[in-house]
Chains A and B, each alone.
Chain A
Amino acid sequence: MSEMTIHLKIWRQARGAAKGNFETYTVEKVLPEMSFLETLDLLNEKLTRQGQQPVEFDSDCREGICGTCGLVIKGTAHGPNPKTTTCEVRMRHFRDGETITVEPFRAGPFPILKDLVVDRTAFDRIQQQGGFVSANTGSAPDGNAVPIPKIDADKAMDAASCIGCGACVAACPNASASLFVSAKISQLSYLPQGGPERGRRALLMIGQMDREGFGDCSNHGECEAVCPKEISIENIARMRREYFKGALGGHDRKAASGD
């Protein structure tokens, strides 16, 4: 296999530092089959051998399902290919001798911890406001004991496939978290189990989203294009309906009347 030489222009920022800067590194003997993160591993081994600080970045499963990794590669969140996470980016998508700009997800509510690692606990705090169903636990209910139309089950599953990676925020020109929050709200809005807390859920989660300092959505749709799970912006329209009904108290009245 033909080996490649890749130049990486990487954002370096020390822990606790307010500012950072770009450093350019050269990695040799990169194979086209290697993943982008393996190329960063190769660079880090070299930096460690040279006694320098390795480049810090997040990754966990490295098979596109956990949502831990996340870099802006060549100006696009999760790299140039659609429907993929950063760990699924392969070096065959780049040219030999190419200089690749690597940046962290940038948003005020995602402060940089070090180099390319950002703090995404803002998402957790939004989830804690209502991204769940309050129900007594116990033995698992029988399958199909609660009838759900197939189309609703499918839409709920599509929304539930969000892995919370934060690429939507990174790609949004306004740094809005609307796609993430809408996926979490939509998922439960399609299912009867999510019914009783519908109105409150939208109000509380969106309230937290705003308090965290995420921007407002301008309907550019860039989020959907970079989303590794292809979450549709129709969820954002649905989220706005949920919010509107919640603000008017519609859902909660309905729940109270046992409808």
Chain B
Amino acid sequence: MSTFRSHVWSSVGKKMITGLTGLLLVGFVAVHLLGNLTLFIPDRGHAFNAYAYFLEHAVHGWLILAFEAGLLAVFGFHIVSAVTVAWTDKRKARPVGYALVRNAGGKSRKGLPSTSMIVTGLTLAVFVVLHVKMFKFADHPSVVYDGKEMKDLYAVVVAAFKQPLIAGLYVAVMGMLGFHLRHGFWSAFQSLGWNNDRAIVVLEGLARVVAVLFAAGFLALPLYILFFVDPSVSGGHR
């Protein structure tokens, strides 16, 4: 008789894990994006630094620890299940490939976003590691607001995105995020069984909107800093 574990790691279970963790990550990225938008407020980083301070100190610092642990697990499950689906199981299921493959077109949803999921996904995974290293574990200058000393993360962000190479790479990776979401967003609902012939029209439309909004929201920031922010006016120099 089949066991609970065999159900969870079946072809359907793996897709449900990938879909559910994918939607959780979409939720995380949405909140992250809203936080980033504070960088557009022309207050030399006060709102952004205060937001970061709040996150790090809420519930005596336990909130961020709990979220980080949860995120790590969600990322882990998403990556392991997706790589199993799109790499290991895929190669086992078709040991000898075709000499010629053409997309069927018509009702097919196969395209660059769907076939490049593994590439965009793994690129994003590498990006997340570098991103955390760059902004979380770097040396931060301090800034004092109303007698309270805070990390000047704003200065770190500006210093990073004033380098055209970093800004350019960031923009490219955020483009990939858009591609990943273009297939991943509606696909998550399909994987969880929350789809039918009518819903798919709405979900695919939503996937397009989410892909463009998220990519544009994130990649606007480095471009804004690179071209419109004066680095001599950082949060630390008041």
> Which residues of A are at the interface with B, using a C-beta cutoff of 8 A?
9, 11, 22, 72, 74-77, 80, 82, 101, 103, 106-109, 171, 173-176, 178, 203-204, 206-207, 209-210, 213-222, 224-226, 230, 232-234, 236-241, 243-244, 247
Show 16 residue pairs from A and B whose CB-CB distance is below 8 angstroms, ordered by the A residue: A72-B98, A101-B99, A108-B95, A171-B104, A175-B90, A203-B2, A206-B11, A215-B11, A215-B89, A215-B94, A220-B108, A230-B107, A237-B190, A238-B193, A240-B12, A240-B193
Which residues of B lie under 8 Å from residue A206 when comparing CB positions?
A: 10-12
B98 & A106 in contact (Cβ 8 Å cutoff) = yes
**Considering only CB atoms, which chain B residue lies closest to A203 in the complex?**
B2
CB distance from B194 to the nearest CB of A (A): 7
* B89 adjacent to A217 (CB under 8 Å): no
- Residues of the A chain whose Cβ atoms lie less than 8 Å from the Cβ of B85: 174, 215-216, 218
B101 part of interface (Cβ distance < 8 Å): yes
Tell me which residues across on chain B come within 8 A of A241, comparing CB atoms.
193
Nearest-neighbour CB distance to chain A for B92, whole angstroms, equals 6
B165 within 8 A of A: no
Chain A residue nearest to B105 (CB atoms) is: A225
Cβ contact within 8 Å between B190 and A218: no
Q: Tell which of B89, B98, B117 touches A103, judged by Cβ atoms closer than 8 Å.
A: B98
Q: Is B102 positioned at the interface, with any CB of A under 8 Å from its CB?
A: yes
Interface centre among B7, B14, B107, B191 (most CB of A within 10 A): B107
| Smallest CB separation, B236 vs chain A (Å) | 48
Residues of A within 8 A of B93 (CB): 107-109, 174-176, 213-215
A226 touches which of B90, B104, B109, B200 (Cβ 8 Å): B104
Beyond known contacts A106-B98, A222-B110, A240-B12: 20 more, CB 8 A cutoff:
A75-B101, A82-B106, A103-B100, A107-B93, A173-B90, A173-B110, A174-B86, A175-B94, A203-B2, A207-B2, A207-B6, A215-B93, A218-B90, A220-B108, A220-B115, A224-B108, A225-B105, A234-B197, A237-B196, A240-B15
Contact A106 B97 (CB under 8 A): yes
| B183 proximity list for chain A (CB < 8 A) | 219
Contact residues of A: prevailing secondary structure: mixed
**In contact, A232 and B90 (Cβ under 8 angstroms):** no
Report if B84 contacts A (CB, 8 A).
Answer: yes
Instruction: Report yes or no: A207 in contact with B114, Cβ–Cβ below 8 A.
Output: no
How close is B81's CB to chain A, nearest CB, in angstroms? 9
Our pick among A107, A109, A219 for the contact of B114 (Cβ within 8 Å) is A219
A247 touches B4 (CB 8 A): yes
Known: A214-B93, A233-B190. A178 touches B11 (CB 8 A): yes
> Nearest residue in B to A101 (C-beta to C-beta)?
B100
Shortest Cβ distance from B197 into A: residue: A234
